[in-house]
Amino acid sequence: MATIKKVDCACPRRKKATCHHKPYRVTYREPGGRAGKPRQVSFKKLEDAEAFAVKIERDKDLGTYLNPKASQRTFAEIWNEWVEAGTLEESSKRNYQSVYDNHYGPFFGSKAVGSITPSTVQEWEADQKQRGYKETGINGRKNVLSSVFNYAVAAEIIGRNPCKKANPRRRSGQSLTPVTDEDIPTMEEVLGIIAEAPKLIRAGFWAMAGCGTRPGESLALADESMDWEGSVLTVDHQVSAYGCQEISGYRRGVKRGTKHRAFDQARQTPVPESINEIFGDHVDSFGTWGDRGWFFESPRLNDRHPSYDWFLDQFKAAARTAGTPRYTPKSFRHFFVSEAIHADIPLFEVAAWVGHRTTRTTEMVYGHLVRRAMTRGARTMHNRLGLNLAPFKGLIIPPQLTPSEDDVEDWDDVA
């Protein structure tokens, strides 16, 4: 049991109320009985000491006891521990570090993780909005933030996730942010960006918009990946900031495997006839290199893949020149998925083409686009039934709303 002992200080009685000493000392053991580590915590007021002693014993009984010192670790420490505890690749860790430096570190980095409350999270959201970030982006970063706090809860560093009460109106369980109309470029905007792209890499932009590939996957297009006659692309490699040295010969290059796919797994996506021709024209103009017949080569070094950052820089420059700087390479994937959904292609097919881990990802991010098909569905059924219904109107007998005399007699017999 926790015990409370008063340890008097040497200050004069008239100054005890305002001195810095904490005379009420709570002594207790961590869970484990006599094997539990003894601890002491001091308080200025007796009522605070009593409340703490009761809470400690209750937490031990419920199995929810947390080491008070653990929650004093900084958010920066917990963030680094969370990143290393996962199975993230080096390129993903680098991206996470960039996000941390821009969005989390300045606000949370030096704070004790146990001191971060729902109000603190709300202040961070307000700061993000003040800095001009869109709500969809803030929600996405808040999902990552919530994952860090979930890790801290599971590791018994803190008792609760402050993100879960920071916005009580938000539906629980929604960890993905749906795209908005502003996130999806129009056909004219896609063509405008592609027109401003360097010819050396333009086919990669077409792959993102017409095949739904990610930037790194687009850079890893190769002759061996293409079924030219069947117009099917096998996506099984990607260019990464930290590629597979056994394949590329360099630390930064291409590697086998893609996001959410193991080393020996691949996915396939259809290639529109027009883009099939674009790929063919690219090969005719620039040729291929390497054992797999890679499409894209570094503009500065022979037999080297273009860098991932160079590809992103080319896209940003093309988007600015086209007058649509708000778009990113992911916007082209949004375009691909939205066009597929509007063409009534089943979600499980779309999810397989773009490499989503499950169809739930597609539903959460793009499901609202399916709901827009309600009118189209009603029109389809009207065309199948309504237009040809006239000859049958006289043959269709409406249901009886009141019982007939025979029905009444039958019920009398039963009674």
What are the domain boundaries of the chain? 3-65, 72-165, 183-370
Contacts of 78 (CB under 8 A, 6+ apart): 113, 148, 151, 152, 157
State how far the Cα of 305 lies from the Cα of 294, in Å rounded to an integer: 8
Retrieve residue 235's tokens: 């996506």
- State what percent of residues in the chain have pLDDT above 90: 32
Instruction: Report which residue type is found at 172.
Output: S
State how far the Cα of 33 lies from the Cα of 25, in Å rounded to an integer: 20
Residues 227, 233, 234, CA angle at the centre, nearest 5°? 100
pLDDT band at 204 (very low <50, low <70, confident <90, very high): very high
- The answer to whether 74 and 111 are in contact (CB under 8 A) is yes
Pairing of strands 237-240, 226-227: unpaired
Q: Which CATH class is domain 183-370?
A: mainly alpha
- The answer to whether 345 and 199 are in contact (CB under 8 A) is no
The tens digit of pLDDT for each residue in 352-385 reads 898 887 777 777 777 666 655 566 667 776 666 6
Q: Which CATH class is domain 72-165?
A: mainly alpha
pTM of the predicted model as reported, rounded to 2 decimal places: 0.55
User: 71 or 337, which is more confident?
Assistant: 337
Residue 48 confidence (pLDDT) = 83
pLDDT band at 210 (very low <50, low <70, confident <90, very high): very high
The continuous run of DSSP H or E covering 362 comes out as: helix 359-371
Within 178-253, residue ranges assigned H as helices are: 187-196, 202-211, 215-219, 245-248
The tens digit of pLDDT for each residue in 387-406 reads 555 555 555 555 555 555 55
